Structure formats: structure tokens, C-alpha cells
Amino acid sequence: MDHNDIRHKLSEYIDGSVSAREKAGIEEHLKTCAKCSDALNELRKTVQHIKAVEEVDPPAWLARKIMAKVRAETKEKKSAFQRLFYPLSIKLPLEAMAVVFLAVTAFYLYQNIQPSQKFAEAPQTRVAKRDANRETGTSPRLKQVPQAPGYKALDMKPEYEKPAPPVPLGKTVPATEGMTQEKRLAAPQASSTDMMREQGGPVKDFAVKKEAKAATPALSAKAKLRAAADSTSEKNHLTLNVQDVAVAAQNIRKLLAQREAKLIKQEVAADAIIMTISINPSKARSLVDELKSIGTLKEKDMDIEQYEETVTLEITVMRPAPGVQER
Amino acid sequence: MLNIAYRLTDDYDEACEVVQDAFVSAYKNIKTFRGQAKFTTWLTAITVNLSKNRLKQMRSRQGHVAFSLDDPVQTDDGEMTLDPPSKEPSVLSVLEKRDFRNRVQECIKALDPGFREVLVLRDMQDFSYEEIGSMLKAREGTVKSRLFRAREAIKNCLKKVVGEL
């Protein structure tokens, strides 16, 4: 080893990390080389100075802060976990349940409010509408079609597609005529009744015939009931304006009893009673005449005579609404 | 750990931050510690690495300031190129006022990071060449030569500052 090598090894020599052979060589050289021994001394002193440099003390808060940071780290992991999975597992079903709850509540509220509204408004608005239609002739269908037995079905849209009231065999023809008139309205381009029959008639005709058969004199009690129920779908509406609804209703009930009429349904509102009755057509006319003596009767053009067995009348007994009275 | 970070970053507050980050990092990565080295060695390696990164950040932060001492200065007589006096005497005069330990610290600060970390780990923290090698992922020979140069540099620095050792 030459002088330079030994100088480079001095650092290791201080640390005692040189091999025994190197150590012997270095010590041999140091005896003769003053420069190297000076360098070694300086190096030793330098290292001593470096080692003597005082250490800094950690601030008191460091340990606490480190622990807080580590805890925050674990918490952060947890909260991130929650952020990912909380909404899916818990939040979403909760939200869904809330939405369903709101929907159900809204539905029930609507359901509860709707019938009472309908009931409260029904008699007056219905009468007003009907009167308006009759007086002004706003309905285009009414304008076009001369009033025929079957046209009423047109006036009541929801009942349009329902089967015609049971009619006896003998009266099938006018009913069918009414129906063909309906059809003509639905398809104005069709020119003849025969054509109509070809297009869609047979099925309907068949239905009419079937019902007509059911209404023959050999009618069973069950069939009668059905007929009555069916006939309700095509009620004849009467509106009776009276001052005292209760008394009028009492009188009507008496009249009904005299004529063996059946009270099918009775709806009572604040100032009105709607009675649905079924009566023998032969007695219906006299009933209508009697009603005129009780109060002001407004009747739609009825053709009571078309019915043989029973006719269904819907009598609305009410105090005259201001709007109606004016007219 | 704090002392290592402090010696490597030269900033007490930064060193505290580094130590905190080192512990959090160690906590997170405890699974990666496979017991091949001593735990202290592993922890120290993390501290050294974080200190290095911090030092880089600090330097780049300073580098972002678009200011140069050599920029011309506006004076009454027009623009004038700045010609500052050499730093040496002023540093010397400052150092003279401090005690010897502070001068040693100043000399350590003046070292290049590569030399400084070896010096700190060996002479201040008493790690073996082997441990330092594994911490810095350097060969033992490299550590030895770096340490020698670092010590020589400190020696020369002290000689310059104090005169005699």
C-alpha cells in the first residue's frame, strides 16, 4: 500500500473496519509518515467533533401528533370504507323505503280526497253540464244525429262500449238501428248498414241477440236480476228540484211503494239524494208525472216505452243550485 | 429519527413532519417489513428516504421563485449589474460568533446530501457500514469512500473556519 491508499484507508482505520493485514500495514506506515499521522489525528478529532454535535430533542407534541396521525389514518380508512359501502347497504334501502312511503301516503291521500270531492260536486256539475249540452247543443254528435233510442250511449262516453240494454225480441230492430247509427258515427265513410255488419257487426249483433233471448218472458229470477243490473248501465236521469229534499224523498218513496218499484241504490249528500230505482215501464210514466207535482222536474228525453220488463231511473232530488235556478 | 431527519433537511419543523410521515408510512407498510433487517434499520431507511424527498421538495420550492442575485439592479445612474462581495468572509464572521459545535453543524450542512447522509448515519447514529449500505441501497465500498470524503470535507471546512482542529 502506498501513501495515498493508506490516506484513503484512514477513515476505515478509525472505525476499525480494516482487516488485520491492512491494519498492520497502516500502523507500519504511520510510524514513518508524519503527514499521514497528522491526517489521522485530524480525522480523529473531526469525528470526535461530529459525534459531539448535540442532538436535537423532539418537541413534546411530536409523539402525540404522530399517534393522532396514525389514528386518523386508520379512521380515514374506516370512513372511506363507510363512504363506499354505507350508501349501498343502508342508505339506498332507506331512501327507497322513504320513496315508497311517500308514494303510498300520496296515493291514500288522493284516494281519500277524491271520492268526497266527486260526491260533493257530482249532482250540481252533472246537471249543469247536461243542461248546458241540451240548451246550447254544444255536443257535435247531438247536432249531427237525430235523436234515436241508442244515442244516449254516445252521451256517456265510459259506457259507450258496453252492451245495449236488454230488449225483447220484438224490439230488437230499433235497438239495432240505433247501434248502426252509432257505428256510422264512428266510421262516417261507411255508407250502408250491410257494410257495417260485415265489418264488425256480426259479433255485436250476436251479443244483442243473446241478450234479447235472455230477456224473453221465460226469464228466470237470476236473469231478471242481471237484466236489472245491466239496465243500470243505461239509466234514465231525472233531476227533481225541490225545497225540502228529505220530505221530497219521503214522498218519492211512497210513490215507489205504490208502483211496486224497487229502490236499487240511494246516495245521500248534503243537499241531494240520488235514488236509483227500477220500475215497470208501464208505471214509469205515471211516476214521472207524479214527480212533477213534487217539484220542478227536469228529464232527459226518455223513451221508457222501449223497455218491457223494467226500466232504471236515476232520480236526483236536490235543492236547486243557484246557477241552475237562474236559467 | 428526528436527528437524522434534522441533519438531512436542516429544518427542525420539516424534520418533525418527516418523522410523523415516517411513522405513518411505517404503520401503513408494516406488512412489507419482513424482518430481513433490524426494525430500526428499516425505520431509519424510511426516514432517510422521506428526508431526501422533502429536501428535493424544499429545493424545488425555492427554485420556483423567479429571482436571481445576478439580475441587474435599477439605480439612479441606470441599470447596474449586481456584484455582491464573496460570501466567505461574511460566513466566517458569522461563524466566529458561534461556538464550535455550531461551526461543525454548519460544515455538515454544507455537505452534499449523498455525503451528508452517510456521515450522519455513521458518525452520529453509529450504524455499521453494512446497515448503511442496506438503508441507502449502496455497496459497502461506496459507503466507505463516501464517508471518507465526507470526513475530509468536514475536516477541511473546520480547518478553514476555525484554523486549527
Test B154 with A15 for CB contact under 8 angstroms: no
Report yes or no: B102 at the A interface, CB cutoff 8 Å. no
Q: What is the model's pTM? A: 0.43
Check residue B78 and report its DSSP letter: E
The ipTM value here is: 0.72
More confident residue, B66 or B23: B23
Test A58 with B2 for CB contact under 8 angstroms: yes
Q: CB–CB of A236/A288 below 8 Å?
A: no
Q: For B24, which of A43, A62, A70 is closest by C-beta distance?
A: A70
Chain B: residue whose CA lies nearest to A53:
B101
Residue matched to cell numbers 455538515: B108
More confident residue, A153 or A297: A297
Check residue B68 and report its DSSP letter: -
Share of chain A above pLDDT 70, in %: 53
The vertex-A195 CA angle with A194 and A198, nearest 5°, equals 90
H/E segment holding residue B75: strand B73-75
More confident residue, B125 or A188: B125
Residues of B in contact with A60 (CB under 8 A): none
Cα–Cα dist A153/A18, whole Å: 120
Q: CB–CB of B134/B17 below 8 Å?
A: no
Region for residue A260 given its phi and psi (left: phi exceeds 0; alpha: psi -120 to 50; beta: otherwise): left
Test B104 with A52 for CB contact under 8 angstroms: yes
Q: For B151, which of A46, A59, A70 is closest by C-beta distance?
A: A46
Banded pLDDT at A99 (limits 50, 70, 90): very high
All three cell numbers of A139, joined, read: 255536443
Average pLDDT over residues B104-109: 83
H/E segment holding residue B79: strand B78-80
Residue B64 in this model has a pLDDT that exceeds 70: no
The pLDDT assigned to A101 comes to 95
Taking only the tens place, the pLDDT of each residue in A124-150 is 555 565 666 665 554 444 444 444 444
Residue A326 in this model has a pLDDT that exceeds 80: no
Test B20 with A10 for CB contact under 8 angstroms: no
Taking only the tens place, the pLDDT of each residue in B113-140 is 888 888 888 888 888 888 888 888 888 8
Cα–Cα dist A175/A150, whole Å: 6
Taking only the tens place, the pLDDT of each residue in A215-245 is 444 445 545 444 444 444 466 788 888 888 8
All three cell numbers of A192, joined, read: 250502408
More confident residue, A109 or A269: A109
Q: What is the mean pLDDT of chain B?
A: 79
Cα–Cα dist A145/B55, whole Å: 99
The pLDDT assigned to A104 comes to 95
Test B148 with A8 for CB contact under 8 angstroms: yes
Least confident residue range of A12-26, A102-116, A128-142: A128-142
Strand pairing category for B73-75 and A296-299: unpaired
Cα–Cα dist B16/B7, whole Å: 12
Q: CB–CB of A262/A289 below 8 Å?
A: no
